[in-house]
């Protein structure tokens, strides 16, 4: 008898736990394949500490191959699922395509940034869902403080050292709390103008900070924020965003170069392409995390609507705590479907939540017991160390060093503004020049609904975005078969917009414009599918606002071997690029992310060392 083939799409909290538990339960009697765009599991709750310079990026990145030795890792993004043929189509990091057959499929695609139809937000705000966004925010905040300290104009100084965070859930609250400490430490080395200091603002339409938590913990978090100088404005959000600032819903205008978007997430668009019953963008499953009518298909994490046994008629919220538990139950039920053991229904007990506010401050309610101050800080960090599947000693060492040594406030410049667009449907991978743009379907909801680090509960209302104007002279076909480098997800391949907040317009940078690209039918490349591919072509003139159409590749009908194509429509992903610099020779391939822009040539007629 052949070994059963189990494919897991996505290596977030749910996908990683499923793979780890399956590896133990099957005792190497099944072929387990994990499809993910990166080779690491990201521990999202500690991401604000990466942005604040407390932890190094690799501390919150747990190696998949190192911790899952009996699981086959395939790097790529699922872009189509044939339910009848039982295959998953994917695109690899270098543009190669492949197909994974399966006997059991686990969808743990997770979630992506949630957009709202607010003018200017998609162009001037940045999310906080992946390592590239955290690294960009750290560099950007550091740069703004340094530029503010050197500015001659008082108004420019004030705008550069003003930082606006939208969304007072867990993520937004931690970003504002850690960010205020980080900038205060910076200005001690870069004195500001007389009477000037960094200004942090936390906005939300909710009536209080972290409305999902106990009122006492919410009050504790708000008190700590205000003590650090954070301006907390409840019942207020952004009405419009521009390069120079934001207009708030109360009519006031704030001059700033930084807008951090932490209003929550939406389920990955992959599940929508299947044509199966949905609940607010999440795939409906039974209490055993199995899709009704599809005994070979399971779903867990943010992409699945799992019935909550403690609240009949409700579904478990999109939090990391639930996703981690989903993974364990899902693995048991997958093995049971293969004839080993009994199925288990998902049940849970609320263990409470912890919020790290930086330093010795935190808010926590373990098992319903409200705590604050240093005791809550110890419980919070102890919980994170226990919950992390790896790197515990390294994380603890970084915390110890941060307590006794000053932080290094330097900007590495590894991630540019245009590399981490808010509308990216793959925030875990930074945009790379010369790669096709891939977008998902946007769904909007109210601000401030962020029940956990893993995401927030969407309200299911679609965001209505105004149609965008197409860029002239842009080819309508996506690119294929790129040379070296990793493919960008949800990226148009263009350069950054000129007027992004705090963004660098990429002028005079060493990269060159990619050569012409041929047509392709290859969409997306992550553990999550993208149903649309942006055409990447010649860059328009500076200041253009074109947005190419998108073409769907997902096989949502479930018919074998067929992938219906959605009609092209407007996309809000493309941004007007800056001047890319001189045009490269026609026969020169576009540079990869880790190589020089082009070959070195001499002008004295002699060959360069290494030339043939």
Tens-digit pLDDT profile for residues 466-524: 334 443 333 334 444 433 444 434 443 444 444 444 444 444 444 444 444 443 333 34
Mean pLDDT in residue range 262-266: 86
166 closest CA partner among 136, 128, 204, 222: 204
Distance between CA atoms of residues 39 and 486, nearest Å: 13
pLDDT beyond 70 at 253: yes
What secondary structure letter does DSSP report for 484?
A: S
Which pLDDT tens digit goes with each residue over 114-151? 888 899 999 999 999 899 999 999 999 999 999 998 88
Residue 435: per-residue pLDDT: 55
Q: What is the pLDDT of residue 422?
A: 82
What's the DSSP call for residue 480?
B
State the pLDDT at residue 413: 83
Structure token digits, residue 258: 């930084």
| Average pLDDT rounded to a whole number, residues 210-214 | 84
The pLDDT of residue 182: 93
Given pLDDT bands bounded at 50, 70 and 90, which one contains residue 326? very high
Query: How do residues 435-446 score in pLDDT, each as one tens digit?
Result: 544 444 333 333
Task: State the pLDDT at residue 501.
Answer: 42
Is the CB of residue 91 less than 8 Å from the CB of residue 420? no
Higher pLDDT, 434 or 594: 434
**pLDDT at 611 > cutoff 90:** no
The residue ranking higher by pLDDT, 584 or 78, is: 78
pLDDT (0 to 100) of residue 433: 66
Determine the Cα–Cα distance for residues 219 and 363; give it in Å rounded to an integer: 9
pLDDT at 1: 53
Place of tokens 């819903």: 249
Instruction: Give the pair of three-digit tokens for residue 51.
Output: 């942005």
DSSP at 271: G
State mean pLDDT over 565-586.
43
pLDDT value at 101 more than 70: yes
* Tens of pLDDT, residues 3-25: 999 999 999 999 999 999 999 99
pLDDT of residue 447: 35
- Which pLDDT score is estimated for 368? 80
Lowest-confidence segment of 52-66, 232-246, 401-415, 551-565 by average pLDDT: 551-565
The pLDDT value recorded for residue 373 is 87
Mean of per-residue pLDDT scores for the chain? 76
Position 406 confidence tier, pLDDT thresholds 50, 70, 90: confident
Q: Which of 203-217, 413-427, 550-564 has the highest mean pLDDT?
A: 203-217
CA 409 centroid distance within chain: 24
Q: What is the pLDDT of residues 519-548, one digit of tens each?
A: 333 334 334 444 333 333 444 433 333 333
Judge whether 354 and 380 are in contact, CB under 8 Å.
yes
* pLDDT top residue among 86 and 420: 86
Q: Minimum mean pLDDT among 181-195, 298-312, 361-375, 484-498: which range? A: 484-498
DSSP conformation class of 595: S
Q: Are 263 and 127 in contact (CB under 8 A)?
A: no
> In terms of pLDDT, which residue wins out, 443 or 423?
423
pLDDT of residue 424: 67
**pLDDT on residue 434:** 57
- Angle, CA 324 vertex, CA 318 and CA 329 arms, to 5°: 105
């Amino acid at each position: 008898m052949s070994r059963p083939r189990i494919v897991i799409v996505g290596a977030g909290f749910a996908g990683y736990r499923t793979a780890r538990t399956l590896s133990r339960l099957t005792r190497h009697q099944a072929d387990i394949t994990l499809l993910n765009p990166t080779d690491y599991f990201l521990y999202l709750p500690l991401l604000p500490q990466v942005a604040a310079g407390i932890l190094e990026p690799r501390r919150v990145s747990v190696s998949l191959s190192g911790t899952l030795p009996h699981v086959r890792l395939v790097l790529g993004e699922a872009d189509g699922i044939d339910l009848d043929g039982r295959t998953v189509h994917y695109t690899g990091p270098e543009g190669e395509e492949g197909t994974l057959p399966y006997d059991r499929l686990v969808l743990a695609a997770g979630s992506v940034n949630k957009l709202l139809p607010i003018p200017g937000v998609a162009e001037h705000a940045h999310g906080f869902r992946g390592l590239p966004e955290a690294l960009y925010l750290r560099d950007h905040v550091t740069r703004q403080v340094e530029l503010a300290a050197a500015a001659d104009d008082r108004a420019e100084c004030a705008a550069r050292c003003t930082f606006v965070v939208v969304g007072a859930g867990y993520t937004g609250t931690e970003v504002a709390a850690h960010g205020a400490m980080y900038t205060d430490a910076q200005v001690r080395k870069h004195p500001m103008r007389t009477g000037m200091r960094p200004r942090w603002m936390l906005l939300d339409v909710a009536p209080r900070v972290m409305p999902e938590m106990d009122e006492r913990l919410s009050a504790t978090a708000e008190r700590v924020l205000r003590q650090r100088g954070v301006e907390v404005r409840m019942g207020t959000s952004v009405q419009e965003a521009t390069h120079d600032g934001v207009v708030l819903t109360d009519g006031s205008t704030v001059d700033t170069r930084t807008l951090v978007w932490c209003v929550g997430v939406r389920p990955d668009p992959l599940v929508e392409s299947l044509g199966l019953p949905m609940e607010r963008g999440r795939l409906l499953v039974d209490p055993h995390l199995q899709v009704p009518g599809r005994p070979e298909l399971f779903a867990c994490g943010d992409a699945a609507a799992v019935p909550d046994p403690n609240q009949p008629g409700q579904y478990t919220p999109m939090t990391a705590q639930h996703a981690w538990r989903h993974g364990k139950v899902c693995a048991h039920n997958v093995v049971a479907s293969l004839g080993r053991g009994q199925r288990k229904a998902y049940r849970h007990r609320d263990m409470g939540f912890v919020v790290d506010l930086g330093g010795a401050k935190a808010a926590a309610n373990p098992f319903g017991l409200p705590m604050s101050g240093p005791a809550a800080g110890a419980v919070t960090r102890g919980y994170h160390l226990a919950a992390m599947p790896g790197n515990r000693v390294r994380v603890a060492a970084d915390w110890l060093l941060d307590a006794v040594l000053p932080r290094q406030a330097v900007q590495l410049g590894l991630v540019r503004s245009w590399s981490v667009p808010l509308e990216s449907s793959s925030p875990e991978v930074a945009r790379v020049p010369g790669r096709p743009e891939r977008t998902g379907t946007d769904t909007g909801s109210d601000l401030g609904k962020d029940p956990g680090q893993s995401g927030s509960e969407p309200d299911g209302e679609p965001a209505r975005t105004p149609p965008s104007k197409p860029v002239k002279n842009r080819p309508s076909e996506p690119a294929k078969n790129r040379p070296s480098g990793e493919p960008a997800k949800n990226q148009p391949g263009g350069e950054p917009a000129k007027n992004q907040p705090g963004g660098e317009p990429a002028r005079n940078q060493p990269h060159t414009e990619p050569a012409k690209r041929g047509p392709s039918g290859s969409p997306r490349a992550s553990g999550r599918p993208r149903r649309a591919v942006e055409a990447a072509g010649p860059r328009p003139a500076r200041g253009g606002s074109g947005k190419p159409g998108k073409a769907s590749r997902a096989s949502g009908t479930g018919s074998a071997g067929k992938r219906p194509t959605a009609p092209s429509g407007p996309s809000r992903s493309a941004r007007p690029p800056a001047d890319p610099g001189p045009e490269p020779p026609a026969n020169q391939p576009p540079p990869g992310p880790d190589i020089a822009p082009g070959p070195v040539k001499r002008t004295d007629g002699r060959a360069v060392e290494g030339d043939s």
